[in-house]
Amino acid sequence: MYVASITSKQKIFHTADCSHAKSIKEDHRIYFQTAEEAIQKGYRRCQDCCEIGSYYKKERNEILSYCFQNGISAGINREDGFLDVVTPYSSWKIIVNGRKHGRYLYHRNTIETESPGALLPGYHPQHVLRNTLIGYLRYIVEHDSYRRSHPLLIQKPKKDWRECHYRKGSKKYKNQQNRLKRMERRESIKRVDELLQSLEVRGI
């Protein structure tokens, strides 16, 4: 359960046992079942009761050592309260969400695509679960290693032949013009057929 103040301009939400939450007047309170619900309504996490922070503190020394050995960085984002992980090849977020306070991994999109209603705009979820933050960091390093040896092949969309600009008089230009003429004839015939069918239906 999470709580926030409906009168606060900062729009920060807290866990129910946070000292800041306890100072909110009852008639000013708004409740959320999950952190996801609060975020989707425009609220930000409280830094003092951020769940990911408690996990980070428990593993801090191991995380710092692992990051140093593998040339990556990991730290709590002051804006959203998530753990940002940055490598030389990719960017990630580890979040705590859901009623069971599960930890989930999100990868920054390498292709400019957006999913409507996405929890983290610009990121997509990784379908992996680890019991520790270090477990996720190890996955990230393994993921980067695999991607370096197996790069994604992003296919460029084919350009519409009708939008190509060929030199006038060239063979490609003549072929393009002939295709356009055949297409126009087919469209004209189609329109005439549709007109005749509509006249037959009306009994004219």
* pLDDT for 9: 85
Q: Extract the tokens encoding 153.
A: 């092949």
Do 59 and 40 belong together in one domain? no
Do 60 and 116 belong together in one domain? yes
83/152 Cα distance (integer angstroms): 26
Q: Global pTM?
A: 0.57
* pLDDT for 78: 67
Do 65 and 92 belong together in one domain? yes
Number of structural domains the chain divides into: 3
Q: Is 154 part of a structural domain of the chain?
A: no
* pLDDT for 1: 81
Residue pLDDT, tens place only, 104-115: 999 998 776 655
> What does the longest C-alpha to C-alpha distance in the chain come to?
87
End-to-end CA distance of the chain, in Å? Answer: 70
120/122 Cα distance (integer angstroms): 6
Other beta carbons within 10 angstroms of residue 113's beta carbon come to 9
Range of the domain at 110: 51-149
* pLDDT for 92: 95
Do 104 and 144 belong together in one domain? yes
Do 29 and 64 belong together in one domain? no
* pLDDT for 88: 93
Q: Extract the tokens encoding 91.
A: 């960017």
Do 22 and 61 belong together in one domain? no
Q: Is 156 part of a structural domain of the chain?
A: no
27/22 Cα distance (integer angstroms): 13
Do 67 and 119 belong together in one domain? yes
Q: Is 12 part of a structural domain of the chain?
A: yes
* pLDDT for 81: 78
Any bridge partners for residue 44, and if so which? 12
Q: Which residues of the chain have pLDDT under 70?
A: 47, 78-79, 98-101, 112-118, 153-158, 161, 200-204
Looking at residue 95, its amino acid is I
Do 113 and 181 belong together in one domain? no
108/126 Cα distance (integer angstroms): 10
* pLDDT for 153: 66
Per DSSP, the three-state class of 140 is: helix
Residue whose entry in the numeric block shows the structure tokens 């060929």: 166
Contact 13, 81 (CB under 8 A): no
Do 178 and 88 belong together in one domain? no
4/39 Cα distance (integer angstroms): 11
Closest CA to 76 of 109, 54, 98, 97: 54
Do 55 and 41 belong together in one domain? no
Closest CA to 66 of 138, 131, 128: 138
Do 129 and 93 belong together in one domain? yes
Do 108 and 187 belong together in one domain? no
